[in-house]
Amino acid sequence: AARRTTAPGAVVVAHPLRALREGLATALAGAGLDSVADAADLGTLGTALGRQPARVVLVALELAPEGRADLLVSRCLEMPCTAVVVLAPRITDRDLLAALEAGALGYLSREESLDRLTYDVKGAVRGEACLPRDKLAPVLRLLIDRRREEDQRQELLRRLSKRETEVLRLLMSGASNDQVAGVLFLSQATVRTHVQNILGKLEVHSRLEAVALGHEAGLTAQPFRDEGAGT
């Protein structure tokens, strides 16, 4: 049977199905790992880790808040554990990348053999990343594509003049044309011209798209005081 107390280096299995989590914990224990299967959800996982921190949390993707793998990993890493490995029958490449960026040590498929699972979990206990070979290339492609998109956004932003950048930063804070004009001491006609130039240089069709591109590129919004608001 799976052990009931955790210790340094322990693996905690968190899964909503009792038979699955206990079966996996038993297999891990049989492979020489201190393992526990007390966590059916994030609440009981927090309770288990509150009693004793764990080396690795093997957590089911089914427990993800809002179905988001990155939120699942972030929630787990707020608890007293060293590493998080996501467990699921399958995972999309984007969800996997989001989980890794959130700090996951890797992903294991429940469709793998128990021997393979225990081998990979042992590696995770040693701090080794665990990622199926068939996921390496897709995740790398996503990373490359994301970097290329970031570079393209930065290149578009570099097209803007200093004044146009100031206007965009105010738009990102929700300022209207009138408010931009007031903050920058410009005429409304000049602001409209700047906005049209911004749309053209960023190759977008609306203020909303321009604002979204600014946020995605990491541009900082410029706070402004709405003089029309009450004091």
Q: Using CA atoms, how far apart are residues 112 and 99, in angstroms rounded to an integer? A: 19
Residue 4 has pLDDT above 70, yes or no: no
Contact between 130 and 120 under an 8 Å Cβ cutoff? The reply is: yes
Instruction: Give me the residue label for tokens 């042992």.
Output: 122
pLDDT in tens, 54-77: 899 999 999 999 989 999 999 999
Contact between 172 and 221 under an 8 Å Cβ cutoff? The reply is: yes
Instruction: Write the DSSP assignment of 138-182 as a string of letters.
Output: HHHHHHHHHHHHHHHHHHHHHTS-HHHHHHHHHHHTT--HHHHHH
CA nearest to 135, candidates 83, 94, 84: 94
Q: Using CA atoms, how far apart are residues 33 and 25, in angstroms rounded to an integer? A: 9
Spatial strand order in the sheet of 35-39? 35-39, 11-14, 54-60, 81-88, 106-109
Helix (H/G/I), strand (E/B), else coil: 12: strand
* Radius of gyration for the alpha carbons in the chain, expressed in angstroms and rounded: 25
Residue 138 binned pLDDT confidence (cut-offs 50, 70, 90): confident
pLDDT in tens, 73-120: 999 999 988 899 999 988 888 899 899 989 999 999 888 888 888 999
pTM across the whole model: 0.65
Question: pLDDT value at position 229?
Answer: 45
Q: Where are the extended beta strands (E) located within 75-153?
A: 81-88, 106-109
63: its two tokens: 């427990």
